[in-house]
Amino acid sequence: MVTDDKLRTLTLGDLQVTGRLVDASNATLYATSTLEEDSVICIYKPIAGERPLWDFADGCLAHREYAAYLVSDHLGFGLVPLTILRDGPYGFGMVQQWVDIDESIDLAKFFATDHPKLRAMALLDAIINNTDRKIGHLLPVENEILFGCDHGVTFHEEDKLRTVLWQWANEPFTTDEIQLLERANSEIAGELGQKLAPLLTELEIQETARRISDLLTSGTFPLPNPDWPAVPWPAF
């Protein structure tokens, strides 16, 4: 899905807003980025349109969306659509390639299955401390490919994992998953941590490293936190 041409078009193209997703809590604009003869349909979330939250600093959600993409991309998950930060007609913000989902998939049933990509999403969410993995944030496309969107409320220093993907709770990691976590444990102190440094606080990066280490120590998917709602509301 990600190509150098798409990245260049998304980054340098003329960003034209053509609509708005009215159900979104923050300003979420449907747009097209056009460069010469190429165009990429995308979602544009200007920081100016972010709604203040009690437990996250103001004006940081776009950076967290981009940080989630960097983790997914750097560690090889491939679960977050191409995402960048750039200026636009309503100011600086997050721009993410639009994903056309497979309309034949019933999300109300799909989210509770044992699909391997959902399992990978659950692991990614545990790493980035996703506080809002709703059913509607799952984007299945053709050929067993899955993406996830809306990662603005991630990387909090406190453990606030809140998701609909609890079907693997306390289940042991596979060898491949352990190897991925070991790589993440190494990379968060190196290149990946350097990529995240302009986007997150030092404490948030330290706590991300701590969560990865804790996952390796437990060897299992996390259990719901008894001191925090385990499932987002509304779930869809």
Is residue 235 domain-resident? no
- The pLDDT profile of the chain, 236 residues, written as one tens digit per residue, is 456 899 999 999 999 999 998 788 889 999 999 999 999 999 999 999 999 999 999 999 999 999 999 999 999 999 999 999 999 999 999 999 999 999 999 999 999 999 999 999 999 999 999 999 999 999 999 888 999 999 999 999 999 999 999 999 999 999 999 999 999 999 999 999 999 999 999 999 999 999 999 999 999 999 998 888 999 999 99
| Residue 5 to residue 137: CA distance in whole angstroms | 26
Is residue 233 in a domain?
A: no
In a domain, 88, yes or no: yes
Domain that holds residue 11: 4-218
Is 234 inside a domain boundary? Answer: no
Evaluate whether residue 89 is within a structural domain. Answer: yes
Q: How many domains does the chain have?
A: 1
Q: Is residue 227 part of a domain?
A: no
The answer to whether 43 touches 84, Cβ cutoff 8 Å, is no
Say what the pTM is.
0.96
Within a domain: residue 171? yes
CATH value at residue 101: 1.10.510
Q: Does residue 236 form part of some domain?
A: no
Alpha helix positions (H), the chain: 4-12, 61-74, 107-110, 116-128, 175-187, 191-196, 202-218
